[in-house]
Amino acid sequence: MKSKLHLQSLAAIFFLIVSLGVVLTLTFAAVSGFAADANPPANDWVTLWQRSDVAMPVPVTVRVGAGELGGLGEDLENCDWQMMSTGHHQLYFQPSADRAKVAELSRLLDRVYVFLSGRNPAKPSTPIKAFLVPNERGHSRCSQSVSAMRTGEQGELPLLLTSLLHEETHLFNFAFLGRKQQNWWCGEFSCLYFQERALADAQGRDLRKELVRRLPKGPIGPLAELDRHGKDAFDEAVAAMFFLEETYGCARFNDFRRQCLASAKASNGGKLPESIFKQVFGKDSTTLDKEWRAFFGWPGISVAAKPASTDPRLETKVSYATEKASVQDIVRSLAEQAGLQYDFQKSFAQTDPVCRRWVEGVAIRDKSCRDALEEILGPVGLRYQVENGTIVLYGK
Domains by residue range for the chain, with CATH: 60-179 (3.30.2010), 186-296 (no CATH), 312-395 (3.55.50.60)
Residue 131's closest CA among 113, 122, 143? 143
Q: What's the rounded Cα separation, in Å, for the pair 174 and 304? A: 33
**Buried b or exposed e, range 277-299, using 16+ CB within 10 angstroms:** beebbeeebeebbebbbebbebe
Pairing of strands 60-64, 317-326: unpaired
Helices (H), the chain: 2-38, 44-47, 99-117, 157-177, 190-203, 207-214, 234-267, 275-281, 285-296, 327-337, 344-351, 369-377
pTM of the model: 0.69
The more confident residue out of 82 and 47 is 82
Residue type at 370 in one-letter notation: R
Number of residues that this document lists for the chain: 396
Residue 310 pLDDT: 75
At 319-374, the pLDDT tens digits run 999 889 999 999 999 999 999 999 988 999 888 888 898 888 899 999 999 989 98
Q: What's the rounded Cα separation, in Å, for the pair 167 and 393? A: 29
Residue 23 pLDDT: 37
Residue partners of 123: CB distance under 8 A and separation at least 6: 117, 172, 175
Residue 309 pLDDT: 63
The answer to whether 368 and 315 have CB atoms below 8 angstroms apart is yes
The answer to whether 127 and 145 have CB atoms below 8 angstroms apart is no
Residue 36 pLDDT: 34
Residue partners of 70: CB distance under 8 A and separation at least 6: 143, 144, 145, 146, 148
pLDDT (mean) for 84-108: 95
At 272-326, the pLDDT tens digits run 999 999 999 999 999 999 999 999 999 865 434 444 567 889 999 999 998 899 9
Residue 43 pLDDT: 65
* 242: pLDDT strictly greater than 60: yes
Least confident range of 51-55, 246-250, 261-265, 278-282: 51-55
pLDDT above 90: percentage of residues in the chain: 68
